[in-house]
Amino acid sequence: MSTRRVLVLIGLCGAGTARADDAATLVIDGGQGSFDRVLPAGVPVKILVPVPQADPSRGKLTLYPMLPGSKACADPGPDRTRQWHEYGMAVTALGDTRQLEATISPLQIATTYCITVRYEHGLSGDQLATLADLMGATPIDWEASCTSLVIDPDHAAPRRRVDREPAQQIAVVREAVLKQLTGSLHKLRELRAASDGAPPDPARVAEAAATLTELLDVPARCSALAARLGDEDRALDEQQRATARQAQAAAAVKTLPTELRAWPIAVVLTDNAPAVKTLLELVSQSASLPAIAAQVELADPELASDLRDLAAASGDPARLAAVMAKLRAPPPRPIPLVLFVPSLSRSVRVADLGRAGELGGLLVDLAKTRGPLLRQLAVVRQGAIAVDRPIAERWSAALTGLADQAEFAVAARAHYTETKQARADAEEANRKALKDLVRTETMKGQLRRSEAVSEAPVTASRETDDKASWIAPAVGVMVAAPYLAAERRFADPWLTPYLGASVYFTRVDRVIDVDDLVGPSWRLFRQRNSVSVGLLLSTPSVRGKAVSGPWQADVVPFLGIGHRFTQYLRGDLGAILFQYNDRIPVITQPHWGVAGWAGVSLDADVWAVVGGKLGR
């Protein structure tokens, strides 16, 4: 008995805690679940569910026995079956991944259970990557978020750009980020056609947007961008002023005298370089005369005609001498000033510079290389009469000024383009920073939790072990009514303890309440009813003399059947065959008797005690 007490003590000490070998892992693969082992019966079991998603937020486990005759799990609900339980699941770390776990109450032996796991998790890695792309396209009006245009009476421009207050910059950007984040999360739900699971938590989304904005360091970015915007504004102002000055210079050119008393000059190509020559220098080169005549035509058609005639006469000396004499004298009247414009490949009468085409050609040449035009004016000045030389000088000065302004305007435009690109680069850097920030671990953690994605429930079934005994010791007390066959009467009843063994026709579950046992009827019958055999622990007596067992054995055996009321308490009915002595002492031949009895016994399963299942 002392050994038994020790075992009971061990069993009690083990009660209430799941041991290491009382854990089972539910492996989810491709939406299907399977257990890695037979489920231990009669002890609390820790169910472990490693989840593929990195960040499960909460889980729920539903447990129920598979219905008799069923081959698949079908949740009948809590009111339609015994042993239906639902458990919340805790999230624990398992290396780099997470797992859900719940400790379930003891299971019935040799029974198939269905376990359904439902869990939610945050956004997956792929979803976060998509979210980062969507967030990278956040339409933030950085210019208006960081600065505003105000009227400044002291400034030449109609409006002046000023920086917004940092708090205002942050608020504007945060609002845009929040709007984009909310829209992006909805977009993600659409992409995965999610109809279940909790919608994005507005508070968490707002928190994520605030964190993202904070990490973005909006004031610093606005400061950098405002500097670029300032550069761009100044460059634009300068470009506007430069082109305006160019227009003024062009307008000034149009007011100059367009005629003077100077023979036109000619431009010839020498080694592909334009060279400015006087007509006197060229007139003896008869091969060049037709081209020179074409240049002269605009200035003095009569002189052009003379040159063409000279060319036709193949350099007739008399004609040549006449033309040269004419050219050595100043023109008899003012003649139109004509300049050869290289970009147009033709000569232009300066009086026609009011035409867009002519002025355009002049501007192109002045902006690129003013030399050929100014050299023409220098030669014209030398050939002009003294009183008209200032006209040539004024033209030279005006075209020099126009050339300066044309160069400035082109340079200003190029500078504006550079500053505009720098501003665009700064804005692009901000967009990229936003996109990169979404991919940081800090933001991933926050964004992942901003939405709970419900995974499809996973159901797995597995049978429990049958580690239980089919035989149990029984200790009890009985009341017996002995019938004395020889005398055809009952003797006084016996009250006696007994010790026996209960033999069941199945392994007996000692943990689950007998009223909660599940299974087919025959199985439930066998779980509760047994055959008993044993001995009385004290020898009863008839008429003061102890009875004996059959054939005068020293012990009195019994037979019976028992029915468990609880896991360990049983009622027994049975019969005892015994022998007793005759009332007349000299008659030594014992008589047979039989006693019917009823008893109550403790039905303790040794295996249950050893397995720590006693008292669960």
Partner 1 sequence: MSGQLKIATQSIHRAEQPFRVRVEITGARPGEQPRVRLSQSDGVQPFYRAAATADIDANGEGIAVFDDVVLHGPGHAAILVAEPDEPGVLLRSDQLRVEVVP
Binds partner 1 by CB under 8 A, chosen from 25, 124, 182, 240? 240
C-alpha span between 241 and 266 (Å, rounded): 36
Q: Which residue lies nearer to partner 1 by CB, 129 or 351?
A: 351
Structure tokens at 342: 């290289």
Q: Which of residues 153-192 bind partner 1 (CB under 8 A)?
A: 157-159
Round the CA-based radius of gyration of the chain to a whole number and report it.
57
C-alpha span between 616 and 612 (Å, rounded): 8
Q: Which residue lies nearer to partner 1 by CB, 137 or 321?
A: 137
Question: Does 196 help bind partner 1 (rule: CB under 8 A)?
Answer: no
C-alpha angle 548/549/554, rounded to 5°? 70
Binds partner 1 by CB under 8 A, chosen from 212, 260, 409, 556? 409
Binds partner 1 by CB under 8 A, chosen from 149, 429, 433, 600? 149
Q: Which residue lies nearer to partner 1 by CB, 243 or 541?
A: 243
Distances (CA, A) of 325 to 262, 443, 563: 14, 92, 153
Q: What is the DSSP string of 75-111?
A: ---TTSSTT-EEEEEEEEEETTEEEEEEEEPP--TT-
Q: Which of residues 345-374 bind partner 1 (CB under 8 A)?
A: 356-357, 359-364, 366-368
Q: How far is the CB of 172 from partner 1 (least distance, A)?
A: 9
What is the pairing mode between strands 45-51 and 23-29? parallel
Q: How far is the CB of 368 from partner 1 (least distance, A)?
A: 7
Question: Does 400 help bind partner 1 (rule: CB under 8 A)?
Answer: no
Question: Does 330 help bind partner 1 (rule: CB under 8 A)?
Answer: no
Q: Binding segment for partner 1 among 127-135, 409-417, 435-443, 569-577 (CB under 8 A)?
A: 409-417
Neighbours of 555 (CB within 10 A): 11
Structure tokens at 68: 């008799």
Question: Does 250 help bind partner 1 (rule: CB under 8 A)?
Answer: yes
The label of the residue with tokens 């016994």 reads 601
Question: Does 246 help bind partner 1 (rule: CB under 8 A)?
Answer: yes
Q: Binding segment for partner 1 among 412-420, 456-464, 562-570, 571-579 (CB under 8 A)?
A: 412-420
Q: Binding segment for partner 1 among 117-125, 151-159, 333-341, 451-459 (CB under 8 A)?
A: 151-159
- Nearest CA-CA partner of 283 in 320, 312, 316: 320
Q: How far is the CB of 240 from partner 1 (least distance, A)?
A: 6
Measured in degrees and rounded to the nearest 5, phi and psi for residue 157 equal -70, 150
Question: Does 512 help bind partner 1 (rule: CB under 8 A)?
Answer: no
Question: Does 143 help bind partner 1 (rule: CB under 8 A)?
Answer: yes
Neighbours of 116 (CB within 10 A): 18
Q: Which of residues 576-615 bind partner 1 (CB under 8 A)?
A: none
Residue 358's H or E segment, with its range, is helix 356-368
Q: How far is the CB of 104 from partner 1 (least distance, A)?
A: 54
Q: How far is the CB of 162 from partner 1 (least distance, A)?
A: 13
User: How many residues are given for the chain?
Assistant: 616
Q: How far is the CB of 102 from partner 1 (least distance, A)?
A: 48
- How far from each other are the two terminal CA atoms of the chain, in whole angstroms? 22
Is residue 566 classed as helix, strand or coil in its secondary structure? coil
- Nearest CA-CA partner of 545 in 590, 578, 580, 576: 580
Question: Does 244 help bind partner 1 (rule: CB under 8 A)?
Answer: yes
C-alpha span between 176 and 197 (Å, rounded): 26
Question: Does 137 help bind partner 1 (rule: CB under 8 A)?
Answer: no
Contact positions vs partner 1 (CB under 8 A): 139-144, 148-149, 157-159, 236, 239-240, 242-244, 246-247, 250, 356-357, 359-364, 366-368, 406-407, 409-410, 412-413, 416, 420
